[in-house]
Amino acid sequence: MHTLYAAQRAGSFVVEALLHHTGEPYRVAEAPPWEAGPHRDELARVNPLMQVPTLVLPDGTVMTESAAIVLHLADCHPQAGIVPPADAPERAVFLRWLLYLVGSVYPTFTVADDPTRWVSGTDAQEELVRRTSAYRCGLWRQVEEAAKATPWFLGERFSAIDLYLAVMVTWQPRRPWFAEHAPKLTAIADRCTADPRFAPVVARNGMA
């Protein structure tokens, strides 16, 4: 049995959806790092970064970093269609944009969600949030440009990127911004959240 430390509508949604999709046995430990409670001590014990998703494998191995978990689950379930196989034409594009989402877009939240970690003084903190948010919008415009959305990010082939988009369009700058500036990403996210394969996980995350 896997244990997934998760928070509703967080990046853990991607891992939860893939565990469900692949049929892996798992339990969810709801552990929103930004809320007080005993779950914070438990999360800190397995992941000193205090981030979700954190996945404890059946043998006790701890995995953090959503992209690493995605690639691990794809290795375990090559038929599940999570990641294009090595000889697929979409493989290079998939790897580029998977790493872009987790390596470029995701860290803007690490910075802007709690600016008190990085600078002191209200003015500096507001400025940091403002600039980081503007930078993030530029990143999303590039993702929008790269999206095929016919019907998925990569085109005909579904992949884990579609699950990232499903949850990330619910984050800042929020759905109305995406609807206006990123219609392809919005369409992919809507398609993904309406996909019956992920329905229970979409519902548990309050994304229905």
Ligand X SMILES: N[C@@H](CCC(=O)N[C@@H](CS)C(=O)NCC(=O)O)C(=O)O
Nearest approach in angstroms of CB 198 to ligand X is 17
Tell me if 175 sits within 8 A of 152, measured CB to CB: no
DSSP string, 24-71: --EEEEE--TTS-STHHHHHHHH-TT--S-EEE-TTS-EEESHHHHHH
Q: How far apart are CA 118 and CA 206, in angstroms?
A: 31
Nearest approach in angstroms of CB 104 to ligand X is 11
- Show the tokens assigned to 178: 């995406």
Q: Is the CB of 125 or the CB of 155 nearer to ligand X? A: 125
Per-residue x/- mask for ligand X, residues 31 to 70, rule CB under 6 A?
--x----------------xxxx-----------xxx---
Return the range that interacts with ligand X (CB under 6 A); candidates 16-24, 105-113, 120-128, 177-185: 105-113
Nearest approach in angstroms of CB 89 to ligand X is 26
Nearest approach in angstroms of CB 176 to ligand X is 20
Tally of CA atoms within 13 A in the half-sphere of 30 that contains its CB? 7
Q: Is the CB of 66 or the CB of 193 nearer to ligand X? A: 66
